[in-house]
Amino acid sequence: MTRIVVLATGGTISSRQSSAGGSRAKDSAADLISALSTHGLDDFGAGVELESEDVAVQNSFNFSLADLSRIAHEVARILGREDVDGVVVTHGTDTMEETLALLGFTHDDPRPVVLTGAQRSPDHPDGDGPRNLHDAIHTAASPASRDQGVLLVFGGEIHSALGLRKNHTLAPQPFGHRSAGALGAVVGSGTSYFAQALTPEPLPLPNAAFEDQRVDMVLGYPGADAALMHAALEAGATGVVVLGAGAGNPGVPLTDAIAQATAQGVLVGLGTRTGAGPVAVIYGGGGAVDAVAAGAVPLSDLPATQARILMALLLSAHSPSQARDQLDARLNPQT
């Protein structure tokens, strides 16, 4: 017998039009599972049993680090049961990449954790939630998914958690990696992998201090000064992700501010505002060369949204200097 627990958190997959205005999360995990039979998508075979649990009923744009932490701890609790073979987490697509990052950096179990969601709600005439949930359950139940870590199943594709971004607001398959393709695919009821996922050395689950970390993001652009960087520091940020132009070039005012921040013990990560490609330390004169010399850690090709979660995890467990060393070692091992 293969037992899969479906853990619902809300999101578009559970949202319906509300009299209060707009679409809002409503359906529970049991509702989502029940809808599978309505759509003829409950063909999991006699050997698969489903359980439903709810950890939240929210649209993910309202999630805090505390919400992400609660999801991670609930997943770990479920995997503490020997009778469970995999977990499916339904989640809003807006901030799914952050939850994927937290789970991806802390997952320490051969059994799969599979996230999925929807771009169109269940009361939409062409809702995609039931198909995505069907595919996610099949993926979680497949023996081939063991040791593949944390996965996203969406639009018939299987992706590894880390490096993933939501790249489109409305497309049926909005997710993609900055520097890689899909890990596998679901065709009908069959799960097929093209490659083995690379999973990092797991970090401990988030502690209470994780929820209190303030890691802000500052964008570089023509005419950008250091006002937003200084505002983040004044607000108590323990970490800041600076998104430079091109390959990670913030400009002179921000590189000066990075030096001030790191001198105060603030962890600074250097990302890029572009949609693909790694941070590359090429240019001086306010470019990435100066930012790194000022103490910023290049985020390689990890999306800034996911690097922010890693930074909060490290800062919640280590001193700023130790967090910096660990961030650099994880993202830039060749140096």
Find all residues with CB under 8 Å of 87, minimum gap 6, and list them.
Answer: 4, 5, 6, 7, 75, 78, 79, 111, 112, 113, 114, 140
Q: Residue 45 in contact with residue 136, Cβ under 8 Å?
A: no
Q: Rg of the Cα trace of the chain?
A: 20
Q: State residue 178's pLDDT score.
A: 78
The pTM score is: 0.96
From the list 12, 90, 95, 262, the catalytic residue is 12
Residue 108 makes CB contacts below 8 A (sequence gap 6+) with 202
Exposure of 313 in the CB half-sphere (CA atoms within 13 A): 24
What amino acid occupies position 235? Answer: A
Sign of CA dihedral 103, 201, 173, 187: negative
pLDDT at 283: 97
Distance of alpha carbon 210 from alpha carbon 207, whole angstroms: 5
Q: Is the dihedral of CA 24, 25, 26, 27 positive or negative?
A: positive
For this structure, is 12 an active site residue? yes
Chain-centroid distance of CA 30 in Å reads: 24
Question: Are β-strands 150-154 and 113-116 bridged in parallel, bridged antiparallel, or unpaired?
Answer: parallel
Per-residue pLDDT of the chain (335 residues; tens, 9 = 90+): 899 999 999 999 999 988 888 889 999 999 999 999 999 999 888 899 999 999 999 999 999 999 999 999 999 999 999 999 999 999 999 999 999 999 999 999 999 999 999 999 999 988 999 999 999 999 999 999 999 999 999 999 999 999 999 999 999 999 998 777 899 999 987 899 999 998 999 999 999 999 999 999 999 999 999 999 999 999 999 999 999 999 999 999 999 999 999 999 999 999 999 988 999 999 999 999 999 999 999 999 999 999 999 999 999 999 999 999 999 999 998 75
* Confidence at residue 296, expressed as pLDDT on a 0 to 100 scale: 98
CA-CA distance, 62 to 262, in Å (whole number)? Answer: 30
Look at residue 196 and give its three-state secondary structure: coil
Which tokens hold the place of 325? 């060393």
**Helix crossing, 304-315 with 96-106: angle to 10°?**
50
Q: Which residues contact 7 (CB under 8 A, 6 or more apart)?
A: 29, 53, 54, 55, 71, 74, 75, 78, 87, 88, 89, 90
Handedness of CA 240, 243, 249, 253 (dihedral sign): negative
- Spatial distance between the Cα atoms of 174 and 261, rounded to a whole number of angstroms: 35
